[in-house]
Amino acid sequence: MWRKIVFFCILLASYLFSAQLMVVQGNLASLVEVEGDYLKKNLEIVFPFSPLDGVVVSDTAYFATGNALLEYNLKSKEIIRSLKIPAKKLKWNDERLVVICEKEVLLLDPVSFKYSKISFQQSVSDVDFYEGYLLVSHGKYVSLTKNSEEIWKIEAEAEINKISVNKEKKAFAALTSDGTIFLVDLENVLAPKVVFFSKFEEAEDLEWIEDFLIVFFRNKVITMNAAKLTSPRAFKEYIASGNTTSVVKLQDSILFTKGNDLYRVGVFSLKKIGTAQRVFPVLAQGEMYTPGDLIWQLNLEAEVRSSPVIFENLLVVADVEGIVHAISMSGGKLWSYRTGFVITAPPRVFMERIYVTSWDNFLYAISQNGQLVWKIDLEADVSKPFEVNSYGIYLATDSGEVYFIDHDSSIVWRFKDEEWISTGVTVDENGVVYFGTSRSLYSLYSNGSLRWKTRTGYLLTMKPIIIDRYVITGSNSGWLLCVNRTNGNVVWKKKLPLSLNSQLSAFGDTVFVNAEDGIYSIDLSGNVKRIISASTPSPVAVSKEGYVYFVSEGVLYSFTLDGKRRWERKVGESTVEPVVGEERVVVVTRSGNLYCFFDSVHP
């Protein structure tokens, strides 16, 4: 009898469950739509290979064959790309394909088909995901990793076969080969606590449904109420004969197979819904979006005057009540930290630290878990944008001093002149600092001494940007200024209908600025062109693919660089720049409404 393999793929996540089931017999497959407890066959496919595991994402499937990873187009029914690697298990997370290859975990970008890898000394059995971290079970260990580095690991008495994260409970469950289940509290992700462990004879697999841990045994299924992680208790028991061969979590239930039977189990019920001999899960998390689709929204319940910042899977935004909010890219609130007063400068993230300036005179360094690392009194407010690099933090206070502070909170140098500093600071690749004042554009050497000073005669209001050998800044009086960053000599200046909210952005060798009547582009020769007409638009964000984003009259717009409108979505008044991540565009309104939209990575 041919071996049957079943792949599950969630194509739509909603209260009414809808998914697809791919049943593979040798190299023969059929796609079956699952609606509630009913199955409907939609498509049959003959593969030129026999897959072991897979992930289906829209019309594309990724298959592990044991000696290769294959990208397969379900519409054209052909292999698009392949990698000769010993792929045995696949998972999908945050637009990445995670591939288990014996003693390695590969993190693959499905667009470029390139990957990074994490190596272990023992064979890897499972992976799961927790707010930007990767949990890996290998041998007797569970390791927490980030950016390919191991942060900690927990050792069990037997080899670990399965791990399952519950993000809402901030915990994970693990099952060892001898049937021991242990629960780990991740409230402080850097200091995990094993809060429960017990041995369950013939336990084969486990998965979460909200507060309930579903445990699969050889001839039964038990739902355990784990509202209290320290003392889970059996809630319901169901008879289901045979060995458990696969488990796939859906939104509010689980599909699993035993023997030749396919079941669906929830907290309060279990029902057989079909047949399948041997199963492997394929999970494509999240819905399939088109550019401009709203993924989630969140109300911060406070006014916001600074742009958010995205770092990997973390979104950070600060409000005028002095609160720093950390939000996952799936829209979940992670933590908040309260400073002493208003925040108007955008936060900065570097080396897993979040730096924030407040009108309470302090610079704060906060860990990615929301804990204060240190703070330093600058004796004046910092209301304007600042910079962070590998050397430290560069900022200007409202009293007119420029500071360079290292990552250990030591003041390396400070600079003060007679002119009031009116812009944020910018730092180049050599640590040279640039900023504008009420009458001049300044440049400081990396040691804090004056390099040059160019008199402008008017108040500069735009944080300088650096392109090639030029520094460009501007004023709400309408002048845009380009100077040679080596000597400060003026290269050109242009008059535009700029406003107090005008800011500069760059893409390649082109400068973009929001003016009273639209978006302008300026090349390095000073040629000016209005590419988009709009009424008092917000500052502009430009993605790496060359898409332009801004808010005008309460509507978020996306345009191409040549001024063609792509999509628009109503959001509300915003005076700050949208922020662009991988296939995500985030905008915050002045009233504190945070919106996350999908956008394609392809220009």
Q: What is the dihedral of CA 355, 357, 360, 366, to 10 degrees?
A: -10
Tell me if 308 sits within 8 A of 316, measured CB to CB.
yes
Tell me if 503 sits within 8 A of 538, measured CB to CB.
no
Tell me if 581 sits within 8 A of 550, measured CB to CB.
no
Measuring CA to CA, how many Å separate 271 from each of 18, 37, 256, 275, 279?
16, 8, 10, 12, 17
Q: What is the pLDDT of residue 560?
A: 94
Q: Is the pLDDT of residue 602 over 70?
A: no
Residue 53 neighbours by CB distance under 10 Å: 23
- Residue spans of the domains in the chain: they are 120-201
Q: Which of the four pLDDT bands, split at 50, 70 and 90, describes residue 7?
A: very low
Q: Tens of pLDDT along 175-193?
A: 999 999 999 999 999 999 9
Instruction: Supply 276's token pair.
Output: 């399948």
CA–CA gap between residue 590 and residue 158 (Å, rounded):
54
Averaged pLDDT, 561-569 = 93
Q: Tens of pLDDT along 401-440?
A: 999 999 999 999 999 998 999 999 999 999 999 999 999 9
Q: Is the pLDDT of residue 8 over 50?
A: no
Q: Tens of pLDDT along 506-554?
A: 999 999 999 999 999 999 999 999 999 999 999 999 998 899 999 999 9
Q: Tens of pLDDT along 69-78?
A: 999 987 888 9
CA–CA gap between residue 280 and residue 256 (Å, rounded):
9
Q: What is the pLDDT of residue 289?
A: 67
pTM of the model: 0.59
Q: Is the pLDDT of residue 284 over 60?
A: no
Tell me if 46 sits within 8 A of 35, measured CB to CB.
no
Q: What is the pLDDT of residue 164?
A: 96
DSSP letters, 483-544, are EETTT--EEEEEE----TT--EEEETTEEEEEETTEEEEE-TT--EEEEEE-SSPPPPEE-T
Q: Which of the four pLDDT bands, split at 50, 70 and 90, describes residue 249?
A: confident
Q: How many CA atoms lie within 13 A of 425 on its CB side?
A: 28
Q: What is the pLDDT of residue 3?
A: 39
For the domain spanning 120-201, the CATH number is 2.40.10
| H helical segments located in 380-486 | none
Q: Which of the four pLDDT bands, split at 50, 70 and 90, describes residue 290?
A: confident
Q: What is the spatial order of strands in the sheet that 353-357 belongs to?
A: 348-350, 353-357, 362-367, 372-377
Q: Tens of pLDDT along 442-484?
A: 999 999 999 999 999 899 999 999 999 999 999 988 999 999 9
Q: Tens of pLDDT along 349-379?
A: 998 899 999 999 999 999 988 999 999 999 9
Cα 2 to the chain's mean position, in Å? 42
Element (H, E) at 566: strand 565-570
Q: Which residues pair with 55 in a beta bridge?
A: 62
Least confident of 33-47, 92-106, 272-286, 494-508: 272-286
Q: Which of the four pLDDT bands, split at 50, 70 and 90, describes residue 277?
A: low
Averaged pLDDT, 79-87 = 94
Provide the mean pLDDT of the chain: 88
Residue 480 neighbours by CB distance under 10 Å: 24
Tell me if 521 sits within 8 A of 472, measured CB to CB.
no
Q: What is the dihedral of CA 201, 259, 124, 134, to 10 degrees?
A: -90
Q: What is the pLDDT of residue 19?
A: 60
Q: What is the pLDDT of residue 114?
A: 87
DSSP letters, 329-397, are TTS-EEEEEE-SS---SPPEEETTEEEEE-TTSEEEEEETTS-EEEEEE-SS---S--EE-SSEEEEE-
